């Protein structure tokens, strides 16, 4: 793989940019691999990358029924933060956030990480108490956050109306080292690195069945034929339940749509990420000037990736109270992603009833921000056969034992 650099750009400019090769290979699948990962989104690609980088496992195939990064990885609002309440969650998300900081250099691919800061507004006394509690928990966990007052909120985001008629801003939980990254670039950077290690990324290859022998995974059936493997990982977000059914077990998750939209581009006016849980909306400004807007999940189970009018009406109406200027903006486009939600709003990184079959699921609305940490933890689980410290608390057995990791508030949106 050729390294990208200013010298490479200058050299190719003289050649009229005719010398650039493919960022990753497009191979035909082999008949057998040591590891198959189903899902070429951020979590699947990060798992493959850290399997190769940290554990030397490189005979790996990443299978994707559509195109690389075409699921939730390319359909989210790009927010990165780690200000979660429970210790296991904070450790996992802080690992991810810290890896994001140097990921562009590590992958030799610009993921456009922007540590602009994330604030979660407290617009009720209940939220004030909750965020003060979270700030104290984060201090014990080594996560840099603080609770700030309305004046500081206004300084950080001048376009905000902090004295709104229904929900005035009483303060905010502020994480200055949170931010955003370019979602597509994260997938492309990991894919390029995986391909360089000799791994096969096979697109347009849908898994239609999972084969087992004497309680152990043996391989998968796909639209491109049968493929054998020693170990199998499933990282398919909202379709996790369907893949688990193929393997003969059930997951405690629900699949719902999470919608987002962007406005027409405007001049820079907002250089932080703002989340307003009381009115169920969050917003940031992209590098192109678009206002990126999201809200709560749909109130019913579905697999749609389309937007709907009620989401525009409810989310934008709520945000206009806090950001009056967006009332004059035209919306440019809208989309949806299929998220998998657990009862305690925390993920599943686990072994399964099928030996050597591993599951990465249940991220709900927090999947993008966790990609590097999730891949790191999942790779360790697959390589060693048992979870490391990052994944230990997120097994399936917690639902049977009642060891819930309740993040229904820190998850940041209504779901």
Question: The tokens of 167 are what?
Answer: 């929900």
Q: Is 168 exposed, middle or buried (0-12, 13-18, 19+ CB in 10 A)?
A: middle
Query: What are the backbone angles phi and psi of residue 101, rounded to the nearest 5°?
Result: -60, -35
Percentage of the residues of the chain whose pLDDT score is greater than 90: 79
Percentage of the residues of the chain whose pLDDT score is greater than 70: 98
| Res 176: pLDDT | 97
Average pLDDT over residues 201-225: 96
Residues 127 and 277 sit within 8 Å (Cβ to Cβ)? yes
| Res 245: pLDDT | 96
Please provide the average confidence, as pLDDT, over all residues in the chain: 93
| Res 242: pLDDT | 94
| Res 410: pLDDT | 63
The answer, yes or no, to whether residue 412 has pLDDT greater than 60, is no
Summary count for the chain: helices (H), strands (E):
12, 18
Instruction: Enumerate residues 6+ apart whose C-beta is below 8 A from 368.
Output: 42, 72, 73, 76, 77, 78, 79, 80, 183, 186
Average pLDDT over residues 393-398: 96
How many other CB atoms are there within 10 angstroms of residue 355's CB atom?
14
Which H or E run contains 154? Answer: helix 150-156
Residue found by looking up tokens 């820079």 in the block? 268
User: Quick one: which of 72, 83, 143, 75 has its CA closest to 277?
Assistant: 83
Q: Could you please report the per-residue DSSP string of 270-320?
A: --SEEEETTTTEEEEE-TTSPEEEEEEEEEEE----S--HHHIIIIIHHHH
Domains in the chain (CATH in brackets) are 25-78+183-253+344-401 (3.50.50.60), 114-179+255-342 (3.30.9.10)
Angle at 338 between CA 326 and CA 208, to 5 degrees: 155
Query: What are the backbone angles phi and psi of residue 327, rounded to the nearest 5°?
Result: -65, -20
| Res 309: pLDDT | 82
Q: Could you please report the per-residue DSSP string of 99-122?
A: HHHTHHHHHTS----B---EEEEE
The answer, yes or no, to whether residue 65 has pLDDT greater than 70, is yes
Categorize the per-residue pLDDT at 46 as very low, low, confident or very high, splitting at 50, 70 and 90: very high
| Res 164: pLDDT | 80
Categorize the per-residue pLDDT at 160 as very low, low, confident or very high, splitting at 50, 70 and 90: very high
Average pLDDT over residues 60-81: 94
Q: Which of 134-143, 256-265, 290-299, 385-394 has the lowest mean pLDDT?
A: 290-299
Average pLDDT over residues 363-392: 96
State the helix-helix crossing angle for 125-141 and 87-101, rounded to 10 degrees: 70
In sequence order, what are the beta bridge partners of 261? 293, 334
Assign 187 to helix, strand or coil.
helix
| Res 143: pLDDT | 97
Question: The tokens of 89 are what?
Answer: 């969650």
| Res 285: pLDDT | 96
The answer, yes or no, to whether residue 89 has pLDDT greater than 50, is yes
- Determine the Cα–Cα distance for residues 130 and 128; give it in Å rounded to an integer: 5
Categorize the per-residue pLDDT at 409 as very low, low, confident or very high, splitting at 50, 70 and 90: low
Residues 29 and 225 sit within 8 Å (Cβ to Cβ)? yes
- Determine the Cα–Cα distance for residues 127 and 350; give it in Å rounded to an integer: 32
The answer, yes or no, to whether residue 415 has pLDDT greater than 60, is no
| Res 305: pLDDT | 82
Question: 264-308: per-residue pLDDT in tens?
Answer: 999 999 999 999 988 888 999 999 999 999 988 888 888 888 888
The answer, yes or no, to whether residue 238 has pLDDT greater than 50, is yes
- Determine the Cα–Cα distance for residues 259 and 322; give it in Å rounded to an integer: 20
Categorize the per-residue pLDDT at 2 as very low, low, confident or very high, splitting at 50, 70 and 90: confident
Categorize the per-residue pLDDT at 375 as very low, low, confident or very high, splitting at 50, 70 and 90: very high
How many other CB atoms are there within 10 angstroms of residue 113's CB atom?
20
Average pLDDT over residues 354-364: 96
Residues 109 and 189 sit within 8 Å (Cβ to Cβ)? yes
User: Quick one: which of 279, 273, 240, 250 has its CA closest to 364?
Assistant: 240
- Determine the Cα–Cα distance for residues 117 and 177; give it in Å rounded to an integer: 5
């Amino acid at each position: 793989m050729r390294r990208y650099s200013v010298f490479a750009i200058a050299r190719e400019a003289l050649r009229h940019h005719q010398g650039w090769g493919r960022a990753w290979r497009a191979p035909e699948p082999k008949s057998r691999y040591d590891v198959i990962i189903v899902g070429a989104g951020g979590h699947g690609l990060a798992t493959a990358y850290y399997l190769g980088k940290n554990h030397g496992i490189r005979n790996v195939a990443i299978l994707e029924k559509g195109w690389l990064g075409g699921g939730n990885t390319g359909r989210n609002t790009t927010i990165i933060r780690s200000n979660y309440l429970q210790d296991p969650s904070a450790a996992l998300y802080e690992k991810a956030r810290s890896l994001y900081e140097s990921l562009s250099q590590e992958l030799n691919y610009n993921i456009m990480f922007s540590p602009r800061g994330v604030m979660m507004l407290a617009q009720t006394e209940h939220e004030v108490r909750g965020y003060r509690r979270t700030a104290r928990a984060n201090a014990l966990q080594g996560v840099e956050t603080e609770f700030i007052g309305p004046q500081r909120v206004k300084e950080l985001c001048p376009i905000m109306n902090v004295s709104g008629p229904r929900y005035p801003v009483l303060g905010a939980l502020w994480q200055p080292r949170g931010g955003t990254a370019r979602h597509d670039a994260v997938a492309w950077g990991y894919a390029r690195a995986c391909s360089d290690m000799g791994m096969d990324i096979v697109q347009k290859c849908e898994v239609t069945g999972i084969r087992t022998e004497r309680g152990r995974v043996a391989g998968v059936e796909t639209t491109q034929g049968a493929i054998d493997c020693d170990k199998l990982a499933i990282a398919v977000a909202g379709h996790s339940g369907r893949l688990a059914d193929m393997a003969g077990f059930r997951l405690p998750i629900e699949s719902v749509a999470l919608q987002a939209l962007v406005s027409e581009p405007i001049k820079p006016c907002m250089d932080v990420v703002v989340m307003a849980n009381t009115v169920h909306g969050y917003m940031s400004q992209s590098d192109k000037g678009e206002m990126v807007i999201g809200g709560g999940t749909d109130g019913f189970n579905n697999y749609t990736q389309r937007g709907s009018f009620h989401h525009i009406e409810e989310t934008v109406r709520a945000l206009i109270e806090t950001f009056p200027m967006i009332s004059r903006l035209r919306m440019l486009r809208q989309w949806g992603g299929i998220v998998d939600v657990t009862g305690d709003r925390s993920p599943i990184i686990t072994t399964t009833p099928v030996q050597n079959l591993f599951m990465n699921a249940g991220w709900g609305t927090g999947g993008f921000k966790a990609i590097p940490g999730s891949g790191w933890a999942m790779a360790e689980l697959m390589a060693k056969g048992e979870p490391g410290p990052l994944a230990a608390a997120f097994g399936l057995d917690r639902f049977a034992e009642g060891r819930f990791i309740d993040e229904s508030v820190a998850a940041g949106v209504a779901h």
